[in-house]
Each structure stands twice: as C-alpha cells, then as structure tokens.
Chains A and B, each alone.
Chain A
Amino acid sequence: MKKKQKNASKAWIRRDWDLYLMLILPMVYIIVFKYVPMYGVQIAFRDYNVFKGMSKSPFVGFKYFKQFFGSTELPKLVGNTLKISIYGLFAGMIFPIILALVLNYLGLLRYKKIVQTVTYAPYFISTTVMVSMILQFLAWDSGPVNQILQKLGSSQIDFLGDPKKFVHLYVWSGIWQYTGYNAIIYIATLSSVDPTYHEAAVVDGATKFWRIWHIDLPCIKSTIIILMIMSLGGTLSTGFEKIYLMQNNMNLRASEVIDTYVYKIGIASPIANYSYPTAIGLFQSLVGMFMIILANTFAKRIGEESLW
C-alpha cells in the first residue's frame, strides 16, 4: 500500500518534471521582480538609509503613515486622484457599451467594419503623442479648437492652464483614445448572444430598444461587472505617464495625484527619501486590494458574477 503510494507520487514527477523545468525561470522572475519588492515595502516602516541597507535601517513603525495622514498634501492628492479615477471609471464605462450596441445593430457590415477599425486605432497612439496632440489642438493661439470657437464668436479658452478643466481634459481624451478598444470585448460578447432570443422577440413584435434592454444588456451584464470590479482596484492609482505629461505649473493644483507625487518626492527629488513615498505607495496598494475584495464580495452578495 505504502509502496504503491510512493510510486504514484513519483509518477507525477516523472511525468511532469519537464513542465516544472519550464516553470523554473519564470517563477524565479516572479519571485524576484514581484515578491522581493513586496518584501521591500518594509522600508515604509523604517528610516531607510541607502548605506545601511534595508534590514539595518532603524524601525520607526507608522511614522511615515502618520506623516502622510497629517500632511496638508493629503486632501489635495487623494481628492484629485479620486476625482480623476472615479469620473474616468464611470464615463469610460458607458461609451464602449454604447458603441458596441450601435455597431451591433449596424446593418451595413462593411460600414461596421470601417467604423470599428477607425475607432480602435487611437489605442495604438503613444502617451507622448497623445498628450502632444491635446496640447496642439487646444493651443491658445494656433489650436483648431480655439480657432473654431473664435469663428463662432466665442472667446478663446485656456484649456491647459485652468485647473478646473484638467479633469475633464484628462478623462475625455482618454475616452477618445480607448472607447474603441474597450468596446471590442462587448462587441465580442454581443455577437455570441443566442440569435433565437432575438428571433423570438422579432416574431413577437418587440422593438429594437426593447431588445437592447431585455436581451443585449442582460447578456453583457456579467462582463460589465467583472470589468467594474477590476477597475475599482485602481481607484487610487491613475497611472503616471499621461498625467505627468499633462501637468504644468498652472494646473498642478488639480493635476497632482498620488502616482506623480510619489515619483517626485521619491525619485526626481534631489534629496532621496525612499521611506515616505514607499509608505504612500503601500497605502495606495492596500486601498486598491481592499476595493477589489469589497467590490467582489458585494457582487457575490447580490448574486452577480464575481472574480472568485
């Protein structure tokens, strides 16, 4: 009996040893580049000194977290971050769904294909080019937008220097760039809807609006919820690249977010203080994880699709 078990346990190693061999390098990578930095977050609880190294730096407990929660920067940073990410989340959620529904009901297939191809092209534009396009289009003197406004008899608008406009610029340029790409997943789901539902509805004389509401939307509901849960994890992280490039001295009041602040005080600053930005980053990561778990639990509780 025992021998048999031993043989069985050897059997799976003999059978799969080369699979484990394949996994070795990638797993080493994951541990070094994903888990070692997680271990490294302990410098958030220490007065990190580059020369002493991590484990010899004195332990200071929650000093840097207290500093962050007591800082005058906190309301501005968290406020800006939340405003940008939540506004972006909801506005960015609706348009791909609308575009997918519209494309789904376009009778002319060739036209559908052309529209689709063009709408997801901006996904491939790099952040630098995207921000440069925003700057050019909205430029005070030469930008086409201000030119058209002037022709319409309105006065020019200083889009990039006005902190109040920053969040709209950021979110709507993102919608311009990503709606087509984000619609792909809904288009795919919609095309897999069982056609007999629609046929039955047509026979019963249902309007197309009715079909959207009662057939199409329920079919993409679980996709919407899954995407929602995943993006809620990013409520405190807006990403760095685009916001950093769109910042200028005039809009900084509205455009400084946690991601850019951490970079500025941690890496771009001449006096390297690593502990404080690490603490802020850890706070951000924990809130993100908490949000995903919360959203997932909620989705489960109300009997919807969930991540796990």
Chain B
Amino acid sequence: MVRKNPNHIKSLGIDRFFDVLVYVLATVAFLIILLPLINVVVCSFSGGRAVQTGKVLLWPKDTTLDAYKMVFEYRDIWIGYRNTIYYTVVGTLLNIVFTTLMAYPLSRRQLRGRAFIMRILVFTMMFSGGLIPNYLLVKNLHLINTSWALWLPGLISVYNVIVMRTYFQTTIPDELLEAAQIDGCSNWAFLLRVVLPVSKAILAVMVLLYAVGHWNTYFNAMLYLSDKKKYPLQIFLRDILISTDIDMSSMTGSNVQEMLRRKEMQIIMKYALIVVSSVPILIAYPFVQKYLVKGVMIGSVKG
C-alpha cells in the first residue's frame, strides 16, 4: 500500500529539513502571538513620553506605576468590574443549570421524542429571527435595563447542549442508570448524585465557555442597558479604549504642554487598563486550559 522510497539518504535530508522547518514555524507562531502581549504589559509599566514616542518595545522605559494609579482612581472601571462579576457569576450559573436540564434528558437513548426535540434545537442553529425581532422580544417582555436582558438571550447555547449530551452519552453507561433505577433512584437523584459528580470535566468546560462569553461581550449591554450604573466593564472599556478623546473637555486652560502630557498619560492608561481588565482571565487560564482542549475534543465528536 505504501509507496517505497528507494532513496533513503535523500529522504533523510528532506526529513532533516522538515524537522528544522517545524521548529522554525512553531517559533515564529510563538513569537507572533507572544510579542504583542509582552508589548502591552511592558507599555503599561512605562513612562508616557517613552510610549507616546514609540520607544518602548519589549523592555520598559522610565518604569512607573502611574498608569495603574490612574486606573485604580477611575471609579467607572470599578463599577464596571463589580457589575461584570455579578453578570458573569449569576449568568454562568443559569447557563449551566439550563444546559444541564436540557442535555441530560436528551442523552437518554430511550426518551421518546428525543430526535424531534433535537431537530427543533438544531434548526435554531441554522435559522434565527435576527436582531430586530430579538430586540423587540426583550423589549416586549419589559426586560430592558434589567440584568435579565443580559442573561436570557444567550441562556442556552444549543451547541453546548449537544457537546454536553454527547459527553453524558459516552461516559455514562446505560447499565449504570438501570442499576440505579432498580434501586429506586429517580432521574433527578441520578443526575445529581451520579452524573454530575463524574462530569466535572465537561462542567468545567461549560463554565469556561459561558463565563468567558459573559466577561467579554458588550453587544447585549449596549443594546439593552441604558443606566450607566448597570454597565458592565466592557462598555466602559469601549468608551475609554476605543473612543479617541477622553475628558479632554474637562481640561482647564488650553496649555499645549498640559495637553501633550495628558495624551501621554492616556496612552499608558489604556495599556494598564487592558492588563487590569484581563487579570481574572489570566489567573483562571492555567487552571482551565486543559479543560479547554478536552471540551473542543468532545465537541468534535459527531453526536
């Protein structure tokens, strides 16, 4: 079946070239990803003048914590931080409960109407009402300017339901349920006492995916929230990071020196803000990254 290669010496040469190529490519990918991240962190610790004139690349210049001091004094950011933690914790909890309640019954092969329900679910992945009907729904349910507007529209991800269902199907043998049922164990008890304890890996993946979604999104908040006190962090970040001028208006006297200084401070504050807003994810990252791989692998199993 396999073609014979008559020239071993030549092939060895090619393979050596291949090995080198693989290391070169891996290192290039590694550096392309890593260097911009390093630059962000380094800039956040550097002096404004040096950053503004583009002198800071991979090593801090005029090292200072000024940018972080400014971030810590910025009240809006902490309001946003608190709100985002609240939206993320409660939202993820709701996601997990609802996804599990849907995935577990669908993982039981004997359930009647299972295929029909799956079809109803999968159809929503291919077709949706679109932005305006969804917006009108939230509006008509009087959820505007409430936390529910952030939690409900994405409460169940059908994709995640399928991943979780597949996991239950492949890890929990039917015999286990049958044995439990003979002992008089209900499906609820079985789910809580048997299924969930052995499904920590998939629960971790789900928490990760949903939580990152809640932490990172700004669109729903922009659509549905009008009260500034309720804004999540990402909305404040958008206002500070993307809009070009912040509190230039509140400046007294149009001193050119002062304006330049402010511009410099703004730049390093942006870098510090990027770091501060990413800290929770950076802390969680080493713990969850192995689950991430697992989750994607389960998702790739065709259910």
Contacts and interface: CB of A to CB of B under 8 A. Distances in A.
Instruction: Check if A and B associate.
Output: yes
Interface of A: 12, 15-16, 18-20, 22-23, 25-27, 29-30, 32-41, 43, 98-99, 102-103, 105-107, 111-112, 114-115, 117-122, 124-129, 131-133, 135-137, 141-144, 146-147, 176, 179-181, 184-185, 187-189, 200-201, 204-210, 214, 223, 226, 233, 240-241, 245, 259, 262-263, 266-267, 274, 277-278, 281-282, 284-286, 288-289, 292
Interface stretch (B63-71, B123-131, B166-174, B251-259): B123-131
B4 A204 contact: yes
Name the prevailing secondary structure of the A interface residues: helix
B17 to A, nearest CB: 9
Contacts of B271: 136
A112 B135 CA distance: 45
Contact of B293 (A136, A188, A214, A285): A188
A37 B296 contact: no
B22 A105 contact: yes
B4 A205 contact: yes
B30 A119 contact: yes
Contacts of B227: none
Interface string B22-48: 110111011011101101100100000
Given A27-B117, A127-B216, A115 B26 contact: yes
A208 B156 contact: no
Interface residues of B, number: 96
Given A267-B132, A284-B130, 17 more contacts: A18-B187, A18-B188, A23-B106, A33-B134, A36-B129, A37-B129, A41-B133, A106-B23, A106-B26, A126-B237, A176-B36, A184-B293, A204-B2, A210-B5, A266-B135, A281-B129, A288-B127
13 contacts: A22-B101, A37-B130, A120-B292, A121-B33, A124-B212, A126-B277, A127-B218, A132-B270, A141-B54, A189-B300, A267-B135, A288-B126, A289-B126
Given A26-B101, A133-B36, A241 B217 contact: yes
B176 interface: no
B105 A20 contact: yes
B129 A40 contact: yes
B26 A207 contact: no
Contact of B30 (A16, A118, A143, A147): A118
B14 interface: yes
B112 A12 contact: yes
A111 B23 CA distance: 9
Contacts of B186: 18
B284 to A, nearest CB: 9
Nearest to B286: A117
Contact of A43 (B32, B127, B131, B132): B132
Contact of B2 (A141, A185, A206): A206
Interface string B120-151: 11001011111111111100000000000000
B210 interface: no
> Which 9 pairs, one residue from A and one from B, show the smallest C-beta to C-beta distance?
A37-B129, A281-B130, A40-B133, A147-B54, A126-B216, A132-B241, A37-B133, A26-B102, A19-B105
A259 B128 CA distance: 14
B285 interface: yes
B136 A119 contact: no
B30 A114 contact: yes
B26 A33 contact: no
A295 to B, nearest CB: 12
A46 to B, nearest CB: 12
B32 A176 contact: yes
A128 B241 CA distance: 8
A121 B1 CA distance: 41
Given A38-B128, A133-B40, A205-B8, A125 B187 contact: no
A131 B30 CA distance: 21
B299 to A, nearest CB: 8
Contacts of B250: none
Contacts of A19: 104-105, 108, 111, 187
A261 B15 CA distance: 52
A29 B25 CA distance: 47
A284 B19 CA distance: 46
A38 B129 contact: yes
Contacts of A18: 186-188
Interface in B200-241: 212, 215-219, 223, 234, 237-238, 241
B260 to A, nearest CB: 12
B155 interface: yes
A292 B123 CA distance: 12
B234 A128 contact: yes
Contacts of A241: 217-219
Contacts of B289: 117, 120
A119 B54 contact: no
B267 interface: yes
B98 A29 contact: yes
A40 B18 contact: no
B133 A144 contact: no
Contacts of B23: 106
B131 A281 contact: yes
Contacts of B83: none
Contacts of B270: 132, 136
B57 interface: yes
Nearest to B107: A19
Contacts of B297: 184-185, 188
